[in-house]
Amino acid sequence: MQIILVFIAFFLLNISSCVRETPYQYPRKIKRMPAEKFFEIKKAKLERFVLPAMRNEGIDMWIVLTREYVVDPLAKDLSADRAVARTALVFINEGNSLKRIAICASYDVDPIQKSGIYDTVISYKKEGLAPHLKKIVEEKNPRKIALNISEDFPIADGLSASTLSYLKNILGEKFASRFVSSENIVMAYRSQLLPEEIEIMREAVKITEEIISKALSNEVIKPGKTTEKDVANYIKKTDA
């Protein structure tokens, strides 16, 4: 009799091990913001936060320079994170409005133009970026030119030493003596949120709380079986 009971127990154990576990019920995912909406928000923030910051600082022009492998931290916000060649993003304080000009290589034009951020997109070829940027600066003759150089804020410190040297060579000592840090402009832009951004963040926080709660629940964690990697993989799949 004992032998039969042992056999039955062994048989049931093997059957249960062959049954698939109930697949996870993943929480809802954070919806990706359409590119058009993303850049619509960025354009609105430039007008609402950057222009007042430039006026308060007495800054006439803000220049952001970026290129492949030396990408400025703000490049994505300004639609230049995919630029391969050297790209200049120029913001001019015109009192009641902010003029926005992008200077980029001909093969980098499309995504920058499609963002809708810039009033003017200047395409260069063999002549390079330098003559176009020099012309804009000389015509506007800004008293203060803000650059992304900062000792304290990494987000406002995207200008490499070689690019700064390049800029000085283009514009000469006259304008190089007018260079100032853009950190107050960058902080005003990055630290303040539009109502639309606040709503997006609230929704993202709710979904994140759902994901973490589910990831740490008995549905996912099986004592003695689930590893940290399993939990991490679960969380990653919610963002897939």
159: domain CATH number is: 3.40.350.10
Q: Is 52 exposed, middle or buried (0-12, 13-18, 19+ CB in 10 A)?
A: middle
pLDDT at position 34 is 81
Phi/psi of residue 217, nearest 5 degrees: -90, 170
State whether 105 and 215 are in the same domain.
no
Residue 22 inside a domain? The answer is no
Please report, in angstroms and rounded to a whole number, the separation of the first and last CA atoms in the chain: 53
Q: Which of 155, 173, 191 is the last residue of a domain?
A: 191
Per-residue pLDDT tens digits of the chain, which is 240 residues long: 444 433 334 333 343 333 334 455 666 665 667 888 888 999 999 999 999 999 999 999 999 999 999 999 999 999 999 999 999 999 999 999 999 999 999 999 999 999 999 999 999 999 999 999 999 999 999 999 999 999 999 999 999 999 999 999 999 999 999 999 999 999 999 999 998 888 888 888 888 888 888 888 888 888 888 998 888 888 887 765
Q: Is residue 162 part of a domain?
A: yes
Query: Which helix H or strand E contains 87, and what residues bound it?
Result: strand 87-93
- Quote the pLDDT of residue 27: 61
Same domain for 167 and 112, yes or no, is yes
Q: Is residue 151 part of a domain?
A: yes
Distance CA 191, CA 88 (A): 23
Kindly state whether residues 61 and 171 are assigned to the same domain. Answer: yes
Same-domain check for residues 72 and 141: yes
- Does one domain contain both 148 and 40? yes
CA 81/CA 111 separation, integer angstroms? 10
Same structural domain for residues 84 and 102?
yes
Q: Does residue 170 sit in the same domain as residue 202?
A: no
The reported pTM is 0.78
Residues 116 and 220 in one domain: no
Q: Could you tell me the residue range of the domain that residue 71 belongs to? A: 35-191
For the chain, what is the domain count? 2
In a domain, 12, yes or no: no
What is the per-residue pLDDT for 172?
A: 97
- Confidence (pLDDT) at 124: 98
Residue 203 lies in a domain: yes
| 40 and 124 share one domain | yes
